[in-house]
Structure 1
Amino acid sequence: MPDPVRTPGLLECCATAFGAVRGALRPRRPDKRFLRSITDAGLPTARRTVTVTSLAQVPRSVPTAAIVEGRFSPRRISNSLTSFVVQHPEATFIVDPGVCLDADRRAIAQLPRLLRMAVRPPSDTIATITALRDAPGLPALDFALPTHAHWDHVCGLLDLPDLPVHLHSAEHRWIARGVVAPVGGVRDSLKDRPLVEYDLDGPPVLTFTRSRDLFGDGSIVLVDLAGHTPGSVGVLAHTPRGWILLAGDVAWHSLQVDEIRQKSSYPGNFADDDRDLTFKSLHRLHLARRSATIIPTHDHDAAVRLATRVERVGSS
């Protein structure tokens, strides 16, 4: 069965259009009281380091105001569908395998018509499987770990059959039991493959209230970034050059993290499952950036800066 599609109604479209105009003129302000309430629990104690590699991807130039609410300078920013490969001494895994071959037919065609134009990547976008094959020296993948289950973070799995997937249990429940599933081939990408569910049952880390130490050595810690989807997570990685936090889609660009600016209403209203909770997670990222380099999945320039780093798997 194909994923059910929820087409936005007229009232929802009108409200979004009004919200976009209002947000452009009067962007939502940071919640200073909430910022003061956030406790920083500090970084984990890491016994090993890992390599984080951003795979090659083609950027799309988009108006800044279409991404960052109320921001008009610079006039345009680069957006992309970047995947990341993490090499740990015990396993190699891919974070956000986001683009399948023939994505227009296999994923984007399932999206509501209103969203297709906003999210359709350039025709020369590199499929995840192609980027993996063209990346020199990467070992075989042991599993995939999406930060969340939107089409542009999982549909690359369609070209990676049988690869196990590690998925937050809250995210899996949202996909499997929701009346309306996330569209764009999400269920197709996850079915008929080994699925390892996990819970965020660990202590607070940095500004985040829950965590999971993936390998038990403090080098890869998953943190709670709920809001964009119910089970969104960030991947906190200890590299030789410092801590990196792959932040998924809480923010689409680093400007949002630096200035605590939410996504523009279109398409943000349709992308965020819970706008208020997403905004709170954005506050947490803003404070965490003092201790870790925050990399939103779609921020092409941030991914490119990561790709220029020379890192090596080893022990600290």
Structure 2
Amino acid sequence: MSEPVRNPSLFQCCAAATSSLAGVLRPRPIDQRFLRSLTDAGLPTPERTVRVRALAQVPRSVPTAAVVEGVFTPKRIDSSLTSFVVEHPEAAFVVDPSYCVDAEHRAIAQLPSLLRPAVRPPADTIPTVTALRAETDLPALDFALPTHAHWDHVCGLLDLPGLPVHLHSVEREWVTGKPVAPVGGVRDALLDRPVVEYDLDGPPVLTFARSRDLFGDGSVVLVDLAGHTPGSVGVLAHTARGWVLLAGDAAWHALQIEKVRQKAGFPGLFVDDDRELTFKTLHRLHLAQRVIRVVPTHDHAAAQHLVTARREAAEPLA
């Protein structure tokens, strides 16, 4: 049975409309004081390398100003529901299993009606399970690791029964701890499967305050990207071509990180759990991008870079 839906109030709808209009005319400026306060704790010292591949997905053209507040050039950018596979010598796992078969009825129907048109992907969007099967050289998956628990980052699990999920303890409490799921959160995908909780109990990495070394060898490190949801994380991976950060929805597109622009008020006010903290996380990503490649889950062009990179780096893992 589907979970009950939490619908936005009339006040929230009015606030989103007002915020969107204000953001068009006067987008929120960079917080220079906060930016100067950030320190770089440096990168881990990795003992191994991993492979990161972006699974096949179709793009969806969207107005730039709907993603990057107050930005109109280019007029449109490509978004997508990309999933990623990380191959470590000890395990292979899928990051953000995004889309399921028949998502319209199994996931999107659980969202508030106001949001459905804004988030509905193209009809030919590729389910994660289909994209996985197309990767003929892919090792068997050991687990899934969503960056957060919104529907478009976990509903692909519905087609992967029994696959264990590694989930930040803060995120699990956020999505399951109340009688009604938060806006955008879908619980069905987490039912009837092992869920391995973890905490970000490691030291600062780059500009991020907390971390977790997933394999204890510095090759895959989870970092704190809270704001979009309380337990949002990024997956920092050391590849043969350098460091890559899978940033989930801390930003929807690289332009947000480059310009430090928050999401437009609609749908941003509905999908960002804490807009203030989300904006601060953008500042952290803005500084970090100088030394690592940041890949937002919904940035189709950024994901395509990983497709090219993996073709050029086929050496054995070490």
**Given the two structures, how large is their TM-score scaled by the length of structure 2?**
0.97
Which residue of 291, 310, 313 maps to 1:311? Answer: 313
Per the alignment, residue 229 of structure 2 pairs with: 229
State the alpha-carbon separation in 1 of the partners of residues 183 and 210 from structure 2: 28
2:260 partner amino acid: I
Per the alignment, residue 280 of structure 1 pairs with: 280
Compared CA separation, residues 256 and 184, structure 1 to 2 (3 A): closer
1:181 partner amino acid: A
> Percentage identity across aligned positions?
71
Per the alignment, residue 170 of structure 1 pairs with: 170
Q: Deviations over 1:137-165 (max 9, x none)?
A: 11110000000000000000000000000
State the alpha-carbon separation in 1 of the partners of residues 9 and 163 from structure 2: 37
Per the alignment, residue 216 of structure 1 pairs with: 216
Q: Which runs of 5+ in 2 are unaligned?
A: none
2:171 partner amino acid: E
Contact 2:56/2:131 (8 A) holds in 1: yes
Q: Deviations over 1:51-110 (max 9, x none)?
A: 000000010000001110000000000000000000000000000001000000100011
Instruction: List aligned pairs for 1:1-316, cutoff 5 A.
Output: 1-182=1-182, 186-309=186-309, 310-312=312-314, 313-315=316-318
How many residue pairs end up in the alignment?
315
State the alpha-carbon separation in 1 of the partners of residues 156 and 182 from structure 2: 15
State the alpha-carbon separation in 2 of the partners of residues 126 and 311 from structure 1: 25
Contact 2:184/2:271 (8 A) holds in 1: no
Compared CA separation, residues 197 and 262, structure 1 to 2 (3 A): same
**Given the two structures, how large is their TM-score scaled by the length of structure 1?**
0.98
State the alpha-carbon separation in 1 of the partners of residues 216 and 49 from structure 2: 13
Contact 2:149/2:185 (8 A) holds in 1: no
State the alpha-carbon separation in 1 of the partners of residues 64 and 3 from structure 2: 31
State the alpha-carbon separation in 1 of the partners of residues 266 and 33 from structure 2: 27
**More off after superposition, 247-256 vs 302-311:** 302-311
Q: CA RMSD in A?
A: 1.1
Deviation at 1:185, TM superposition (A): 7.2
Q: Which runs of 5+ in 1 are unaligned?
A: none
